[in-house]
Amino acid sequence: MSAARGEFSSRFGFLMAASGSAVGLGNIWGFPTNTASNGGAAFLFTYLILVFLLAYPALMAELIIGRHGHSNAVTALQGLSRGRATYLLGTTVGFVGIVTVSLILSFYVIVSGWMMAYLIDPLARLAGLNSLAGWLTGDGLVRDSLFVLLFMGLTIYVISAGVKEGIEKWASRLMPSLIVILILLILYVVTLPGASEGLRAYLVPDFGVVANPHLIINALGQAFFSLSLGVGTMLIYGSYVNKRENLAQLGSLVALLDVGIAFLAGLLILPAMYVAQNNGVAIYDAAGGLIAGPGLILSVLPALFNSMGPIGLLVALAFFLLMTIASLTSSISMLEVPVAYAVENHGVERKKATVAIGAIIAVICLIIVANFSVLFDLTVTVTTEWSQPLGGLFFCVFVAWIWNRNGLLREISQGYPDVEQSLFWKIWPFYVKFICPVAILMVYVQLLGFL
């Protein structure tokens, strides 16, 4: 089996693929507005601490289990088990991860489809097709369904080509483009009137807000979503990493890239919102908070682009291209989870598995689209607030409580021979054993209303 398995051909390839999974709508959409509404730089500071003290250790747990098992989550966790009970637990955690990531992909594809529609809108307007432009940016079942199919088609296209020719090749092209577009957009937007007020809202700390436990817990949830944790995505990417690589270092680079791009996204979104306000667009909702949900991306920013005159078309094109790229490098990582399982454990040919599973998930997307008001928020809440942190908790439990310490050390030493003397080995095992599980449990205590 191992000969047939894909593998990333270089560190760069892995870094682009894994940071591509991590960097997505969560970074460009979620993080900046969360920061602005929750104490600016004070939230950023709390977020950074949480990423490096809690999410990074959980990320390492997944990468290490994956590389050790050289397989998908179900098989890798079964391989670490020490008896019937832990075997059953491993099987369950692996399967729940597959179901969860498929459901995350279902809502993610819907939102990514909107990004694609808004990407085509400026092109339609340039071509003078104004009624098409109106259709692209107006809500509608047919538009949503069509773009679900288009975006899912792209995701299937990349994943069916495999690890090297699909994931690595496309992530290595798309991620550098994403960074260039993001920087160009920032450089342009910060020169516009009103931008400095946005920078202030983003960067001036208000430490009074940070002591709030809800805020800390929300930041932890954001960190888990942003690093694609708890569903086996990072685990499967870890399984494609060569044994010669230093995983601890690769993992920290992925976390740094994720945080770095989220930070840069804030330098774009917040100034853009205040420039929009300067141009007469409302950026606060009725309750007095900054508009953060779909309203931000689908109405505030398009209104800003419209108010910019002809250059606004170009800016809109660049912005929605950025969003589409960010979405695609994340969606491929999600589809890879069930596909890898079908290929490895059931011998299904990759192309067939990708098309079949992609089609099933597309049907789920269409069901959500048709019952949007009931199913969309429910799917987001169940998968990201409940399932994802719970999965993360169990990956930590497997690494720290079920796997024996020597086996773990042996796996990490490959590619990092002096790890035993490192700060990483002094701190990380303690974190995954005690701190991460307790912190994740606190999230549930809060969700159940006890905090």
Q: Which is nearer to ligand PFF, 27 or 324 (CB)?
A: 27
Query: Interface with ligand PFF by CB under 6 A: which range of 20-28, 63-71, 246-254, 268-276?
Result: 20-28
CB of 8 to ligand PFF, least distance (A): 17
Measure the CA–CA gap between 255 and 317, rounded to whole angstroms.
Answer: 28
Query: Binding ligand PFF by CB under 6 A: which of 15, 16, 18, 25?
Result: 25
Q: Which x/- pattern over 218-257 shows residues binding ligand PFF (rule: CB under 6 A)?
A: -------xx-x--x-x------------------------
Q: Which is nearer to ligand PFF, 33 or 233 (CB)?
A: 233
CB of 26 to ligand PFF, least distance (A): 2
Buried/exposed 112-130: b ≥16 CB within 10 Å, e otherwise? bbbbbbbbbbbebbeeeee
CB of 196 to ligand PFF, least distance (A): 28
Query: Interface with ligand PFF by CB under 6 A: which range of 24-32, 142-150, 296-304, 421-429?
Result: 24-32
Is 334 an interacting residue with respect to ligand PFF (CB under 6 A)? yes
- C-alpha neighbours within 13 Å on the C-beta side of residue 289: 13
End-to-end CA distance of the chain: 48
- Residues facing residue 290 across a β-bridge: 284
Alpha-helix runs per DSSP H in 190-281:
195-203, 213-226, 233-238, 247-278
Q: Which is nearer to ligand PFF, 101 or 361 (CB)?
A: 101
Query: Binding ligand PFF by CB under 6 A: which of 20, 26, 90, 194?
Result: 26
Q: Which is nearer to ligand PFF, 73 or 231 (CB)?
A: 231
CB of 450 to ligand PFF, least distance (A): 27
96 to 115, contacts with ligand PFF by CB under 6 A? 101, 104
| Number of residues near ligand PFF (by CB under 6 A) | 16
The amino acid at 287: A
CB of 314 to ligand PFF, least distance (A): 25
The amino acid at 179: I
- How far apart, in Å, are the Cα atoms of 378 and each of 112, 218, 233, 320, 361? 18, 18, 22, 26, 16
CB of 56 to ligand PFF, least distance (A): 14
Query: Binding ligand PFF by CB under 6 A: which of 6, 13, 20, 24?
Result: 24
* DSSP letter assigned to residue 291: P
Is 330 an interacting residue with respect to ligand PFF (CB under 6 A)? yes
CB of 212 to ligand PFF, least distance (A): 23
The amino acid at 404: N
Sign of the CA dihedral running 439, 445, 449, 451:
negative
Q: Which is nearer to ligand PFF, 78 or 333 (CB)?
A: 333
Q: Which is nearer to ligand PFF, 19 or 137 (CB)?
A: 19
- Cβ burial of 448 (10 Å; 0-12, 13-18, 19+) is exposed
User: Residue 10 in 3-state DSSP?
Assistant: coil
Phi, psi (deg, nearest 5) at residue 312? -60, -30
Give which of 348, 289, 358, 298 is closest to 323, Cα–Cα: 298
Measure the CA–CA gap between 270 and 349, rounded to whole angstroms.
Answer: 46
Q: Which x/- pattern over 290-329 shows residues binding ligand PFF (rule: CB under 6 A)?
A: ----------------------------------------
- Residues facing residue 284 across a β-bridge: 290
Interacting residues with ligand PFF (CB under 6 A): 21-22, 24-27, 101, 104, 225-226, 228, 231, 233, 330, 333-334
